[in-house]
Amino acid sequence: LPSNEIPSTTECCMFADDLKIFSPIFKFSDYENLQKAVDKIVEWSSKWQLKLSLDKCTVLHIGNKNMKYSYYLYGEELSESQSTKDLGVLMSSDGKFSKHIFEIVRKSHSLCIQIHKAFYSKDKQLLMKAFTTYVRPILEYCSVVWSPFYLKDIILIEKVQRRFNKRLFVSSNLTY
């Protein structure tokens, strides 16, 4: 995709078969430039016989003062999304990561249950190794991007380890 054909106010990020284009929209001309960028991408993809899937293309309007313009691909209006997943991180239109945190906590709780069921041995070191190998990477993946600052999100994440430890150290009176 020739970058000189994309308006300078528009950014493109590509990874494998995924493309994200974005731009701050302050005035109508910014909207027009972003639509031109979409049109150039459609033109390029048609030239190279790489048809874009209208079902997989969405618009994520970020911010409260967003004008929420409509964008078109192949003459059809793109659907608006409230969140999008990019490289495994779920971002919401409000700019918060609470939905992402909820999803990783749900997945982590499920894995903790599977770990407790899968091992007949109740060796604490083995179970803690399983936790750090399988659960912590899910909880920590890209945390520099979505680092929680809301207390409710922090409590939700810490609850995973508390719950795991509670089942692990049932006979002890250890605190978190």
Dump pLDDT digits (tens) for 112-158: 999 989 988 888 999 999 999 999 999 999 999 999 989 999 999 99
CA–CA gap between residue 120 and residue 154 (Å, rounded): 31
Strands 18-22 and 11-15: antiparallel
Structural tokens at position 103: 């999803």
pLDDT at 128: 93
Distance of CA 174 to the CA centre of its chain: 35
- The H-or-E segment that residue 25 falls in is none
pLDDT tens sequence for the chain (176 residues): 666 778 888 998 888 778 899 999 999 999 999 999 999 999 998 999 988 888 889 999 998 888 899 999 999 999 999 999 988 999 999 889 999 999 999 999 999 999 989 988 888 999 999 999 999 999 999 999 999 989 999 999 999 999 998 888 765 555 55
